[in-house]
Amino acid sequence: MKTKGAYKTIGEVCDIVGLVEPETGKRKTYVLRFWEKHFKEIKPSLIYKGRRYYSELNIDYIKKIKKLLKDEGYTIKGSKKALMNINNSVDRAKDDNISTEKLTNLKNKIKELKKYIDG
């Protein structure tokens, strides 16, 4: 069994994400290849004779895409917008955290300076 961080083959990703035909158990690898064409964020590494290997980051992104397309009924265009909004929200949250950190540091420096002025 592969470790958690190991790259996965296209078949393994289908199993992980749930892209398997329920009646036959056949993996829907064609769906992943189709999504690769429409979502530039899915970038499998092509290793050994052109075989696709997916990172954990790719798999997480594929899970988000599947949820939007299959579970929530988004179109490809709509899911791209939704993913962009999710990514922008994460970026804003990161910026807010950085701003809060900087603000705390500035407050501490002001307190230190006041000690010198008042003292």
Helix, strand or coil, per DSSP, at residue 52: strand
* Helix residue ranges, H only, 28-75: 29-38, 56-66
Domain boundaries, the chain: 1-73, 74-119
Question: Within a 10 A sphere around the Cβ of 56, how many other Cβ atoms?
Answer: 12
Q: Give the architecture (CATH level 2) of 1-73.
A: Orthogonal Bundle (1.10)
For the record, the structure tokens of 106 come out as 């500035």
From first to last of its 119 residues, the chain has per-residue pLDDT tens of: 566 678 999 999 999 999 999 999 999 999 999 999 999 989 999 887 888 999 999 999 999 999 999 999 999 999 999 888 876 654 444 444 555 666 676 677 777 777 777 76
Contact 70, 62 (CB under 8 A): no
Task: Tell me the whole-structure pTM to 2 decimals.
Answer: 0.68
2, 56, 105, 118 from 111: Cα distances, Å: 53, 44, 10, 10
Burial class (CB in 10 A: 0-12, 13-18, 19+), 17: buried
